[in-house]
Chains A and B, each alone.
Chain A
C-alpha cells in the first residue's frame, strides 16, 4: 500500500514538473513574438483600436475600418468592440498593466486617471498640422483643452442636451415654448393637470431626473443664474454657494417640493424613467440629446419637437455629451495612429458616421448638409452648441456624479436639507 502511494506521488511530482516546463516553454514563445515583429522595418504597421458602440449591430464602423485599411496599405487597423459597461474598467486596468490598445474611444472625464499615470499622448503637434482643425465647431477646442493647456483628445462624437416637448399638449394647454426659466415654470403649471376627469393629476409639465445623471439638466437651471455661467469664478471658488446659484437651485427643488409640476417619482427617476414618462404622455417636456430623437419620432411622428434649454438672468448653459479618440503613449506608431483617428473625424467619414449613428457633426462644413439642415433636432443641437459645456474634470468628479449629486439632491427634494446646505455639500465635494 505504502509503496503504491509512493509511486503515485512520484508520478504526480513528475507531472507537475513537466507541466511547469511546458508553461515555461509557452511563455518563452509568447514573449519572443512581438520582438520579432518590431524588427521588421518599412513593413505594414498594425494598430489595435478599442471602442464601444451604442448599437453593436451597426456595421458602419467595421466598414469604415475596412475602407481605411484599403486606402492606407501601410497601416492595418484591428478593432475590438467592448461593451460600454466594462469599457472603462477594462481600459484602465489594461493600460495600467501595459497591455492596452494603441488607440481607443474615450470620454473627456477619464482624462485625470489616464494623464495622471502619463498614459495619453498630447496631440497638439499633430493637430496643428491637421487640415481639418479649423473646420471643427467653434468653442469645441476650448472645451476639450485639459487643465495643463494641452489637447489629449481628437473630437469624434458630440451630443448637446436640449428640451424635447409635445406640441399637442402645449396647444391644448394654450402655452408657447418658454424662453426663460420663469416662463418655464408657468408653462409647467399649465401643463400639469388631470386629463381624464378622475380628479387625479395624470400629466406633469417636466420629467425631472433626480437620480444618477440628473446633474446635467440640473446645471442648466443653476448656471443660467451665475454670472459667466461657470462652475468656478476667477478666484477659483465654486459658484454653487453664491446667493444667485442657491436661489436658482431653490427654483429647481420647488418644481417638485412646492409647485408639484414634475412626477412624484422624480427623486428616484433616472434615464429610463424620464424617457418612459415622456413617451407615455405622463410628462410634456424632458431634457435629452439627439440620440433619443429617432425613438421619439417613431413614437410620436410629428407630435414631438425641440427647443433650446430656457435662459436665466445670465443667459443659457447646457451640457455636452462627448466621445473622443485618443492615442496611448505606449504605442510604437504614434504617427500612424494619428492618421487613423484624424481620418475618422474628416468630412466624408464624419458624414457617414453621423448619418447612421445620429450624432451631431463636429465639423462646421457639415452643418449645411440637407440631412442635418432639415432635421429639427439637429437644428436644436446646433443652436445650443455655442453655450454647450462639460463639467469640470478632476479626480473628485467620478464620485460626485455617481453618488454625491443624486444622494444630496434627493435629500433636498425630500426637504431633509435646504437649498443652501445642498449647494455647500456639492461645492465641497467638487473642490475637496
Chain B
C-alpha cells in the first residue's frame, strides 16, 4: 500500500498544474483545431456546420493568404536579423567598463518594456505624412524635398513597420547576449591574448562560439514572438495600405475580430502554427544544442 502511494504522489503533485495547463492551453488549442473544420461565422450563429477540409483548401487559393505569407517572411527575417545584429553590437558595448554603465543598461530596456500598442501609436505619429517628426528632420536636412507618406504608401509601409519592430526588439537581444557574454570565462581571453590573437580573432573564435547557445535560444524565441505579434502593425497601418502590411497573424486577427469568421481564422492560425513549428524543428535539428555545448 505504502509503495503504491509513493508511486502516485508525484502524479498527484503535478496534477493541479497539469489540469490548469489542460484548461488554459490544451482546450483552446483543441478547440481551434475543431473550429478550423467548421464554417463558423458569428454573423450566422444558426448556420454553423462541419465542412471538413474546405477551409484548408480555401486558404491555399486565397491571394491575400499568399501576400500575407510573403509579408510574414519579410517581417520575421528582416525584423529578427537586425534586432539581433544591433542587439549584439549593443551587448558588446555594454560589456565594456565605462562610467554610468548601470544607468545605460536600464535605460536601453525602455523600448522592450513599453507596451506594443503604445509603440505603435508613438511611431505612427513619428511617421505621419503631414506632421511627423521623421519627415520634418529629413526635410530640414534636405534629404527629402516633399514629405513622404511612410505608412500610407505600400512602397514604404512594410519597411516602416519593420524598423519599428527592430527598435522594440534590440534591448531583448542586448540583455540576453550581455548575460551570455558575462558567462564567458575571462581566462579564455587572457590565454588568447598571450597567444597573440587580435580582437577580431578573439571575437570570431571565442566570443561567438561561446555565445551560440544564447543566440540560438533568443533568436528562436524572437522569431516566434515576432511572427505572432499583431499589435504594432495593427495599430500603425491596420494591415494596409491595401494588403501591404498584412502578416499571417494580422490577417488571422482581422478575420476573427472584424469578419467574425472564426472557422477560417482558426485555419489560418493553424497554418501559421505548423509553419512556426517546422521552423523550430529544423532549427533544433540542424544546430544541435548539445553539440554546441
* A6, A264, A280: the one within 8 Å of B147 (CB): A264
From A266, A408, A414, residue with most partner B Cβ within 10 Å: A414
A135 within 8 A of B: no
A137 within 8 A of B: no
Q: Are A406 and B238 closer than 8 Å at their CB atoms?
A: yes
Q: Are B258 and A264 closer than 8 Å at their CB atoms?
A: no
Interface size on A, residues (CB 8 A): 39
Q: Which residues of A contact B (CB under 8 A)?
A: 2, 5-6, 9, 92, 96, 112-113, 116-117, 200, 210-212, 263-269, 273, 276-277, 280, 282, 395, 398-399, 402-403, 406-408, 410-411, 413-414, 416
Q: Which residue of A lies closest to B128 (CB)?
A: A265
Q: How far is the CA of A18 from the CA of B258 in the complex (A)?
A: 44
With a cutoff of 8 Å between Cβ atoms, the chain B residues found around residue A414 in the complex are 153-154, 241-242
Top-6 shortest CB links A-B: A268-B152, A399-B259, A265-B129, A410-B241, A395-B43, A402-B258
With a cutoff of 8 Å between Cβ atoms, the chain A residues found around residue B130 in the complex are 263, 265, 273, 276-277, 280, 282
Given contacts A210-B152, A264-B129, contact A410 B240 (CB under 8 A): yes
Nearest Cβ on chain A to B257's Cβ, whole angstroms: 8
Nearest Cβ on chain A to B105's Cβ, whole angstroms: 37
Of B1-9, B72-80, B193-201, B218-226, which binds chain A?
A: B1-9
Q: Which residue of A lies closest to B43 (CB)?
A: A395
Q: Are A403 and B5 closer than 8 Å at their CB atoms?
A: no
Q: Are B43 and A116 closer than 8 Å at their CB atoms?
A: yes
Nearest Cβ on chain B to A136's Cβ, whole angstroms: 29
Q: Are A112 and B129 closer than 8 Å at their CB atoms?
A: no
Nearest Cβ on chain B to A159's Cβ, whole angstroms: 23
With a cutoff of 8 Å between Cβ atoms, the chain B residues found around residue A267 in the complex are 149, 152-153, 240-241
Render B254-293 as a binary contact track against A, CB cut-off 8 A, 1 for contact: 1000111100000000000000000000000000000000
B146 within 8 A of A: yes
B239 within 8 A of A: yes
Q: Are B43 and A113 closer than 8 Å at their CB atoms?
A: yes
Q: Which residue of A lies closest to B258 (CB)?
A: A402
Q: Are B9 and A5 closer than 8 Å at their CB atoms?
A: yes
Q: How far is the CA of A75 from the CA of B152 in the complex (A)?
A: 53
Given contacts A267-B153, A398-B43, contact A280 B259 (CB under 8 A): no
Q: Are A407 and B242 closer than 8 Å at their CB atoms?
A: yes
Q: Are A2 and B2 closer than 8 Å at their CB atoms?
A: yes
B42 within 8 A of A: yes
* A112, A211, A399, A408: the one within 8 Å of B258 (CB): A399
Q: Are B152 and A265 closer than 8 Å at their CB atoms?
A: yes
Nearest Cβ on chain A to B285's Cβ, whole angstroms: 38
Besides A265-B149, A398-B43, A411-B242, 14 other A-B contacts (C-beta < 8 A): A6-B5, A9-B12, A96-B45, A211-B238, A265-B129, A268-B129, A268-B151, A269-B152, A398-B259, A406-B238, A407-B240, A408-B242, A411-B243, A414-B242
B99 within 8 A of A: no
B46 within 8 A of A: yes
